[in-house]
């Protein structure tokens, strides 16, 4: 059973000031999780988490993570600008992009961010724009399929990202000739893994690659970035990852491969988004309609604009009908939003307690890739974001969108710009 981090009584107070729908985040949970991660890799003196800004690009949340010692992983110009505004700079920032426009490389270089190149051809591209920095990273793609003991996890060979091994060797040589002094290795082989095996297996692959690159090119390997991929248990019957066990598994691979090769000073980085924040965010919505045709439907005041993953991927997000946690789940519903798209459904054939109009719904695990993936199809407006602070108070950390925001990029009518919305 998944339990919300906010109570019905708290929500009743919150909605007196902030109408649903909204995303709400748990500061206490975020901080505790960041500290567990740091503890798990405390054996590595240079360890650092670079939070994937794309997962939840909110300055208030980034500030919390900064206070917990995290850096940021950026993949666009605006993410770099947001990070700069929060005083992340230099090696606080990892810039991991692909098909990168020149102005984004320029901004990353201006901030002295660690640039993570996605392709061999980007070496000359970057050199022609800003020159090659002394510290540079390259993203590795081993190709094929990635498997662990319980089967195939993902198919890197079909992914658009990264260098081949041969390109890594030639790339390092070329980068050294262009002035690079120390290197990083980065790789992402599987998404949202709920197994303690993934990171240690990935780490061993990258550690062995690091030894080979050092031996064949003479390059100084400064860090290895294990990237993301450590997932969360979206379903209530799933067992979550044990980050302490994961950290210990990576340590064993480090001692087995890197230390004997004289590389015991290599720093370990992570680049987690989902693991860091997903469980510490809820989408809160109200049941506003019911429909009885060939199926039973409950219509919420939220829609896929607020949480795109179920519509886009068919992803499962657990739902709690607040105040009815102990009632039998003996009614089958499709839980929908109001978009003119049939895939605008938060759940299909979901067994829930009997729902009444006005019931508050908590949709779990929306703290990463939730609000961030929203859009404005049908002219729908994105919801507010709130922070449940450690002292129990609630702070508005992003207001809901208004029609004036939707019309702001039009140079069409002053009437639209001045429209009021209640």
Q: CA 134, CA 153: separation in Å to the nearest integer? A: 35
Cβ atoms of residues 296 and 335 within 8 Å:
no
Q: Is 138 a catalytic residue?
A: no
How far is Cα 65 from Cα 61, in angstroms, rounded to an integer? 6
> What mean pLDDT do residues 407-418 have?
72
Residue 418: pLDDT over 90: no
What was the pLDDT predicted at 150?
56
Q: 149 or 233, which is more confident?
A: 233
pTM reported for the whole predicted model: 0.94
What gap in Å lies between CA 128 and CA 102, rounded to an integer? 10
**DSSP class per residue in 125-180:** HHHHHT---SEEEEEB---S-EEETTEEEE-GGG-S--B-HHHHHHHHHHHHHTT-
Per-residue confidence (pLDDT) for residue 413, from 0 to 100:
65
Rounded distance, CA 47 to CA 38, Å?
Answer: 8
Residue 152 confidence class, pLDDT cut points 50, 70, 90:
very low
Task: Give the strand pairing for 146-148 and 151-154.
Answer: antiparallel
Q: Is the pLDDT at 233 greater than 70, yes or no?
A: yes
Matching fold, domains 27-278 and 279-417: no
Give 378-403 pLDDT, tens digit per residue: 999 999 999 999 999 999 999 999 99
Fold of 279-417: Lyase, Ornithine Decarboxylase; Chain A, domain 1 (2.40.37)
**Which DSSP letter does residue 371 get?**
G
Residue 360: its pLDDT value, please?
A: 98
For 186-234, give the secondary structure using H, E and C.
Answer: ECCCCCCECCCCHHHHHHHHHHHHHHHHHHHHCCCEEEEECCCCECCCC
**Is residue 190 predicted with pLDDT exceeding 60?**
yes
Mean pLDDT, rounded, for 281-294: 98
Class of domain 27-278: alpha beta
Residues 6+ apart with CB under 8 A from 160: 98
> 392: helix, coil or strand?
coil
Question: In this predicted structure, what is the pLDDT of residue 144?
Answer: 72
**What would the DSSP string read from start to end of 68-116?**
TT-EEEE-SHHHHHHHHHTT--GGGEEEE-SS--HHHHHHHHHTTPEEE
Indicate if the pLDDT at residue 5 is higher than 70.
Answer: yes
Give me the chain's average pLDDT, please. 94
- Given the residues 70, 138, 303, 340, select the one marked as catalytic: 340
Look at residue 417 in the predicted model and tell me its pLDDT. Answer: 59
315-352 confidence digits (pLDDT tens): 999 999 999 999 999 999 999 999 999 999 999 999 99
Tell me the Ramachandran region of residue 178: left when phi exceeds 0, alpha when psi lies from -120 to 50, beta otherwise. Answer: alpha
Q: What is the pLDDT of residue 151?
A: 56
CA–CA gap between residue 332 and residue 33 (Å, rounded):
34
Q: In which band, very low, low, confident or very high, does the pLDDT at 277 lie, cut at 50, 70 and 90?
A: very high
Average pLDDT over residues 266-290: 98
The DSSP 8-state label assigned to residue 280 in this structure reads G
Q: Is 235 helix (H, G, I), strand (E, B) or coil?
A: coil
Domain boundaries, the chain: 27-278, 279-417
Residue reference for tokens 């290599």:
266
Contact 346, 319 (CB under 8 A): yes
Q: Is the pLDDT of residue 298 over 90?
A: yes
Note the pLDDT of residue 420. Answer: 58
Phi and psi at residue 237, in whole multiples of 5°?
-90, 0
387 contacts 27 by C-beta, under 8 angstroms? yes
The residue-averaged pLDDT of 340-366 equals 97
Structure tokens given for 262: 């004289």
- Identify the CA nearest to 281 among candidates 21, 20, 27, 13: 27
274: its two tokens:
């989902």
């Amino acid at each position: 059973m998944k339990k919300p981090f906010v109570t019905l009584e708290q929500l009743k107070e919150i909605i007196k000031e902030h109408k649903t729908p909204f995303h709400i985040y748990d500061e206490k949970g975020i901080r505790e999780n960041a500290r567990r991660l740091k503890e798990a890799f405390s054996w590595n003196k240079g360890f650092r988490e670079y939070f994937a800004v794309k997962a939840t690009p909110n300055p208030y949340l980034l500030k919390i993570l900064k206070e917990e010692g995290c850096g940021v992983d950026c993949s666009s110009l605006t993410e770099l600008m947001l990070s700069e505004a929060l005083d992340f700079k230099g090696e606080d920032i990892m810039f991991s992009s692909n098909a990168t426009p020149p102005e984004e490389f320029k901004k990353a270089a201006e901030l002295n961010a660690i640039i993570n190149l996605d392709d061999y051809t980007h070496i000359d591209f970057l050199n022609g724009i800003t020159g090659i920095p002394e510290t540079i990273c390259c993203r590795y793609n081993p190709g094929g399929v990635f498997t662990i003991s319980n089967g195939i996890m993902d198919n890197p060979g079909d992914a658009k990202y990264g260098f081949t091994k041969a390109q890594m060797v030639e790339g390092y040589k070329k980068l050294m000739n262009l002035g690079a002094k120390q290197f990083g290795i980065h790789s992402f082989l599987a998404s949202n893994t709920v197994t303690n095996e993934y990171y240690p297996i990935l780490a061993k692959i990258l550690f062995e690659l690091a030894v080979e690159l050092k031996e064949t090119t003479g390059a100084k390997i400064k860090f290895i970035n294990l990237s993301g991929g450590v997932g969360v248990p979206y379903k209530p019957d799933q067992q979550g990852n044990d980050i302490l066990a994961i950290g210990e598994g990576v340590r064993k691979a480090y001692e087995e491969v890197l230390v004997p090769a004289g590389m015991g000073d290599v720093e370990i980085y992570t680049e987690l988004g989902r693991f860091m924040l997903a469980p510490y965010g809820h989408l809160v919505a109200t049941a506003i309609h019911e429909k009885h045709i060939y199926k039973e439907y409950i219509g919420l005041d939220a829609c896929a604009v607020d949480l795109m993953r179920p519509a886009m991927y068919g992803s499962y997000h657990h739902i709690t009908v607040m105040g009815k946690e102990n009632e039998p789940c003996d009614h089958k519903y499709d839980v929908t939003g109001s978009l003119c798209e049939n895939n605008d459904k938060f759940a299909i054939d979901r067994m829930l307690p009997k729902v009444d109009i006005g019931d508050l719904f908590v949709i779990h695990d929306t703290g990463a890739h939730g609000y961030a993936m929203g859009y404005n199809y049908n002219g729908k407006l994105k919801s507010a974001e709130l922070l449940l602070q450690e002292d129990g108070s609630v702070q508005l950390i992003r207001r809901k969108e208004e029609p004036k925001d939707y019309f702001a990029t039009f140079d069409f009518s002053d009437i639209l710009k001045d429209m009021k919305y209640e």
